[in-house]
Structure 1
Amino acid sequence: MSLQIRSLGFAVFIFLQIAPSHANSLISEHWNLLLQENGDLASQQKVIDSEQAQLENAKARRLPTVNFTSQYNYLDDDISLSMDLSALTGVPGSTMDFDIQDQAYWDTELTVSLPIYTGGKISAGIDSELADIAENIAKKQQIEDQLFSTYISRYLGVELAQQNLATRKLAYDNLQKHLDRAIRMEQEGSIAHTERLQSQVERDKAKREWQKANDDYTLASAAYQALFRSEVAAPSQSLSYVEIPLPDQAEITEQVLQRSPLLAQVAAKRDKADAGIKASKGDRLPTVALFGMTELARDDLTELEPEWVVGAQLQWKLFGGGNRNATIRSYQMLTTSADLKSQQLMRDLSLYTTQSLLAVDNARNAYLSLQSSKELADENLRLQEKAFIQGVSTALDEIDAQLIVTGIELESHKALYDYYTALAQLAALTGDTERFLSLLQGLPITASTQQ
């Protein structure tokens, strides 16, 4: 980079101190409105809210489980116990009968169970939900970054169309003046009829290009306004160029990698796979829980049934229900896949950051180099106008000079557009969107005249 400082934030701070106090607050106001109205962002936030609810559900598995059961039973006969007392009483056929259960009875219980040890399955479930939340937050950030790039591109696209429209209108006005002079000079016999016709042809062509530029502006404004549900005004000002210092490439690349939503999504997938491994290993371990039960319909209890009971329960699944080793290997492959994906993404993001920095440099250099060409073209046009009036040059010479000035102006507008959109892309990559908006608000601006 041509200018380097320690951080982009410091660069923007210094710039804002020296920039004029002309603020174009529309760009920040509309961005905040877009964040509120965009359907994709709102939809993704609902997904995050849903995952938050799932997380609360996963945490609640650590709480006691309370079950209430009530059952009415009707048997084919009473249940009773008969004891032969003949040997004791000496009376043959002597018996004693005990009623154990009536033919009809209620069985109503309240049971409480509290997990004490689950082999890590509950904490694995919580880790899995946290990974889902992190992944969806990263997806929302990715949507917001893409929306920011689109927003800035369309915002500056309107300003580019405005500048092009003004340039085309100025070219048309100049060629109209040139045609008026050519008509007078033809009437005076100073130039040939063909020169006047050439002037008229170029004037008509400039008029068509001006009308096309007006259509381009209308389309750019419509594209910008289509981003919003509300009715918003299109930008009506033109940015000027200001040199923006940037940190060195290594620092920017590190910042990009640290906050990349793509890398965050891959990291969340890895965390989810780790949670799967943890849960699968927990399946091999026993679970321990405390429990308690109390009978609510005690009138129907038999002498053999307790009114309440408490205790501890151990449950250990020794075999069955699938291949747990294969499940663990499956999750391990997912973690390896996430690691490989992360490494590739880091290389791709590093390259993309380099491309973005080069785009800023190229647009800056293009704009600056065009300024000297513009100065020369303006001077050449001034001389050609005088030479044509004095009869030492042809109408075509002046027309060519005007076309060169117009072409350089249009190239300059496009280079400035590329410069700021490339900076916006860097801001989205590094997460410095708010600073970038503040930067644009602090730029000196000039009113655009729409014709």
Structure 2
Amino acid sequence: MGPTALFFLTATAMALAPAPSAQAQSVSFDEALRQATGASGAVQGASLDVRAKTLKAEALSNIDGPSLDLTAFRGRLSTDLSLDTSRLAGVAGGIGAALPNLPIPEIPNSLDRDVVTNLTSFGLVGMWPIYTAGRLDAVKGVAAGMAQEADAERLEAEEKLGTQVAQRYFQLLLAQRVVAVRAEVTAGVMEHQRDAAKLEKGGLISRAERLRADVALDAARSEEAQARSDAEIAQVALDRLLNTGAQVRPATPLFVNSLPVGSLQSFIDTGMRENAAWKKIASKRFQSEQALRLHGKEYSPTVFAVGNYNLNRGGERVVRSNWAVGVVVSVPLVHRINTGKLIEAAKLDQKRVEVTARQAERDIPTLIEKNWRALENARIQFLSTASSVELARENIRLQTVAFQQGQVASLEVVDARLNLAKIETQRAQSAYNYVMGLAQLLEAAGETRRLGSLADQADIHLPLDTPQ
């Protein structure tokens, strides 16, 4: 990498990096997860959806209970009154026959009158569903199922966020570990370059050997600059995910458990209970059952108890209060909606959910097993590199002594240091792969929040590298 490119890369990283804060904020993984949860729009939106759907389900909890309405009316009333006076007319006719000289007015058989009066009325109307063939219970069930589905989606958002936080949090630690390794390489090659310059002055090595040391130092500095740039970008990504004003300094180191954290079957059993996708399927299954129950009772009778009382006041004496109490039975005969097709559609929805459930019964264990085996591979790979680090450090010591004695070339010393850097970088990468494999396994099992406690319980921790 040339000087111009290196300058451009460093300038870009500095532009992306946040403004330095007065004091960096030391944050454990659990604290980072809490901060990210509070800053996540996806999690907050899912939580609001849960609350809204829960309130809707609670609002329908008494849908099969009684209702009472107060009514009021103020206006003019027009009504026809008809009074049967035929019996009175017969009596008058009998009197007229008995007393022919008595003047008796003629009485018609009926009196009809059109009454128009001002009317003020206050009423109470009560209704109580007695029998609805389970339709109202099905409505409540659908609402409860929708709340369960929203809660499963909230859990899914939290699980995905947990994996994302783990990726950015521990990626920053990995980047900082690589910076420390590259800084150590630069320091070692710089010391080697100084030794080479002294040996050249003493006539023990050629100028070409010293130039090789110079080239190696330039390359080491370039690799260190690239590592620092990567670490700065990782820092920006984590800070923005947590939405904190201060720069985040991870307090939970990269870790590895030397023993398995659990058997494959234990994770599968947990996943089939706690996996967010599985919980969503369970809520869909419940909703489809309630929908079929609702549509399957369209032609069932409905029985309501009703009551009504009206307090009427008007300008005519004929306007009086009235009341009514009784039972209403309603039997549907013809619907404008094709109920048969609704029932068939509900059955198809139920079948679709069952098909999805059967697929999930295969996919979830497969995903868990894949992540579990990747986790085990990363654990074994990390443990297998422990002896390689010691050997690489000893090789550096031997090559350095041999170079000072003129027995090996400069390239041998540089290669030894680069080999150590490669092994330590691979070791850090293996630890990162282990942590991410564990995070993905816990997400599949619905236990992402266990990651922080498993990190604390781990028996192997990589050093925390303070940025310089």
CA distance in 2, matches of 1:418, 1:273: 41
**Aligned residue number for residue 249 of structure 1:** 264
Partner of 1:218: 232
Give aligned pairs, total.
Answer: 427
User: Amino acid of the residue matched to residue 439 of structure 2?
Assistant: A
- After TM superposition, give the deviation of residue 99 of structure 1 in Å: 5.5
Instruction: Tell me by how many angstroms 1:378 deviates.
Output: 1.9
Give the alignment of 1:286-297 within 5 angstroms.
286-297=301-312
Decide whether aligned partners of structure 1 residues 215 and 248 sit closer, same or farther in structure 2, where only a CA change above 3 A counts: same
What does residue 18 of structure 2 align with?
Answer: none
C-alpha separation between the residues in 2 aligned to 1:212 and 1:292? 83
More moved, 385-394 vs 27-36: 27-36
The offset of 1:240, in angstroms, is 4.8
Aligned counterpart for 1:202 among listed residues 216, 232, 244: 216
Which of 440, 446, 450 lines up with 2:463 in the alignment?
446
- Residues 1:234 and 2:234 are matched in the alignment: no
CA deviation after TM superposition for structure 1 residue 193, in Å: 1.5
Provide Cα deviations, 1:98-156, integer angstroms capped at 9, x if missing partner.
66743433344221111111111110011101110111111111111111111111111
Distance 1:301 1:419, change over 3 A: farther
Post-superposition shift, 1:254? 1.7
Find the residue that maps to 2:62 and give its secondary structure: helix
1:25-424 map, 5 Å: 26-74=28-76, 79-81=80-82, 83=85, 88-90=91-93, 93-95=106-108, 97=111, 101-232=115-246, 233-235=248-250, 238-299=253-314, 307-424=322-439
| TM-fit CA distance, 1:37 | 3.2
* Residue type of the alignment partner of 2:279: A
Return closer, same or farther for 1:268/1:302 CA change in 2, 3 Å cut-off: farther
Bigger drift between 199-208 and 55-64 goes to: 55-64
Amino acid at match of 2:232: T
CA distance in 2, matches of 1:414, 1:178: 27
Give the distance between the partners of 2:255 and 2:203, measured in 1 at CA: 45
Separation in 1 of the partners of 2:255 and 2:396? 23
Indicate conservation of the 8 Å contact 2:50/2:150, yes or no.
yes
Q: Contact 1:120/1:278 (CA < 8 Å) preserved in 2?
A: yes
> Retained in 1: the 8 A contact 2:65–2:128?
yes
1:383 Cα deviation (Å)? 1.2
Please state how far the C-alpha of 1:199 moved relative to its aligned partner: 1.1
CA deviation after TM superposition for structure 1 residue 394, in Å: 0.4
**Separation in 2 of the partners of 1:423 and 1:297?**
76
Q: Which amino acid aligns with 2:132?
A: T
Which of these two proteins has the greater Rg computed from alpha carbons? Answer: 2
CA 1:450–1:46: 2 relative to 1, 3 Å: closer
Kept after mapping to 2: 8 A contact 1:237/1:446: no
1:225 touches 1:234 (CA, 8 Å); kept in 2?
no
Provide the secondary structure at the position in 2 that maps to 1:293. Answer: strand
Counterpart CA distance in 1 for 2:156 and 2:39 is: 17
Please say if residues 237 and 448 of structure 1, whose CA atoms lie closer than 8 Å, have aligned partners that are also in contact: no
Which stretch shifts more, 98-107 or 224-233?
A: 98-107
Report the Cα distance in structure 1 between the residues aligned to 2:315 and 2:289, rounded to whole angstroms. Answer: 51
State the TM-score, normalized to the length of structure 1.
Answer: 0.88
Once the two structures are TM-superposed, the CA of residue 438 in structure 1 deviates from its matched residue by 1.7
Specify the SS of the correspondent of 1:244: coil
Q: RMSD across aligned C-alpha pairs, in angstroms?
A: 2.4
Is the contact made by 2:256 and 2:431 (CA closer than 8 Å) also made in structure 1?
yes
How far apart, in 2, do the equivalents of 1:225 and 1:394 lie?
46
Stretches of structure 2 that go unaligned for 5 or more consecutive residues are 1-25, 94-103
**Aligned 8 A contact 1:367 1:415 in 2:** yes
Moved more, 129-138 or 245-254: 245-254
User: 2-side partners of 1:316 and 1:180: how far apart?
Assistant: 101
Would the aligned equivalents of 2:148 and 2:283 in 1 still touch at CA under 8 Å? yes
Higher relative contact order (CA 8 A, sep 6+): 1
**d(CA) in 2 for partners of 1:253, 1:213:** 39
* Cα pair 2:27 2:249 within 8 Å, conserved: no
In structure 1, give the amino acid aligned to 2:39.
E
Q: Identify the range of structure 1 (434-443 vs 297-306) with the bigger mean alpha-carbon deviation.
A: 297-306
SS at match of 1:296: strand
SS at match of 2:267: helix
CA, structure 1 residues 410+302, in 2 after alignment: closer, same or farther (shift >3 Å)?
A: farther
Distance 1:251 1:236, change over 3 A: closer
**Structure 2 SS opposite 1:415:** helix
- What secondary structure does 1:360 align onto? helix
After superposition, the Cα gap between the structure-2 partners of 1:406 and 1:185, relative to the gap in structure 1 and judged at 3 Å, is same
Corresponding letter in the other structure for 1:117? Y
Q: Establish whether residue 427 from structure 1 lines up as the match of residue 430 from structure 2.
A: no
Aligned partners of 1:364, 1:78: CA distance in 2, in Å? 92
Quick check: 1:44–1:136 contact (8 Å CA) kept in 2?
Answer: yes
Change (3 A) 1:236 1:267: closer
1:369 deviates by 2.3
**1: CA distance, partners of 2:410 / 2:312:** 112
Give, in whole Å, the separation in 1 of the partners of 2:82 and 2:450: 88
